[in-house]
Amino acid sequence: MIVTGLKAGSFGAKFLKKLYQGKRAMGKASKSAASFAAKKNYAKTSQFITGASKKTHKGFMNVKKAAYKYPKSAAAVSGALAWDIVDRND
């Protein structure tokens, strides 16, 4: 029998791994989209995509720092979000 705490910890590790993979994929996609727009002479669109990508990265890093600084609050918020996603009455 696997202890519930260990299952939750491994699930959390898998969840973080998937989040980082998604973040990396979004970074690569935005970089390729910005270069494609630049090659097609859409300089402002390319700048917008690059700026949005940088702001998203900074926001992600700020959330990460806050989660490390306030782990109990982060756990409460993520638990509430997970429950809201799971408990749909639609």
Instruction: Give the model's confidence band at 28: pLDDT under 50 very low, under 70 low, under 90 confident, else very high.
Output: very high
Per-state percent for the chain, helix, strand, coil, to nearest 5: 90, 0, 10
CA 32 to chain centre: 19
Q: What is the mean pLDDT of residues 58-78?
A: 83
Is the per-residue pLDDT at 66 higher than 60? yes
DSSP 8-state class, residue 40:
T
Q: Residue 4: its pLDDT value, please?
A: 53
Percent with pLDDT over 70 in the chain: 81
Percent with pLDDT over 90 in the chain: 30
